[in-house]
Amino acid sequence: MSKNRNHEADIENPNKGTKGTNETYDKMTDMDNMVTNITRTMIKKGKDQHMIKEDINNEVLVEMVSVFIKNMVINQQTATRLNISNNEVFDTFINVIFDGTLSEEGKKQYEQSISTN
């Protein structure tokens, strides 16, 4: 049985569509939701353990991290455009996010975790 279409898929741009009309769009939407949910869970746990500053808005941080992961890591366009490695992009992001969002206790635990690896 074929799916009823309520929107023509834009075959020139796989980033557009409505669920069920464009397989690439569906996969990207599923990945987007997964990244957002994982990020939200990690941030909540960080707040619960007092590793993330209390004055940081969870949902704004979720959006920032999710956008970074989706646009810079998954698509890899930024590293290519800047002619740098994905590792350098990621390291820079992590340093900015952690320095700005971690509490003093969170920074100590982060430093300890990377020194043991």
pLDDT tens track for 1-40: 444 444 444 445 555 556 666 676 677 777 778 878 888 8
73 — pLDDT class (breaks 50, 70, 90): low
Orientation angle between helical segments 86-101 and 104-115, nearest 10 degrees: 140
Average pLDDT over residues 44-72: 85
Average pLDDT over residues 55-80: 79
Domain contains 111: yes
Residues 77, 43: Cα–Cα separation, whole Å: 26
Domain contains 13: no
User: pLDDT value at position 75?
Assistant: 63
**Helix ranges, 4-115 (H):** 23-48, 58-68, 77-82, 86-101, 104-115
Domain contains 9: no
Q: Which domain holds residue 74?
A: 23-115
When computed from its CA atoms, the radius of gyration of the chain, rounded to whole angstroms, is: 18
Q: Give the up-direction half-sphere exposure of residue 4: CA atoms within 13 A in the CB hemisphere.
A: 1
Domain contains 6: no
Domain contains 108: yes
**Number of domains, the chain:** 1
Domain contains 62: yes
Q: Is the pLDDT of residue 106 over 70?
A: yes
Domain contains 11: no
Domain contains 88: yes
Q: Supply the pTM of this predicted model.
A: 0.54
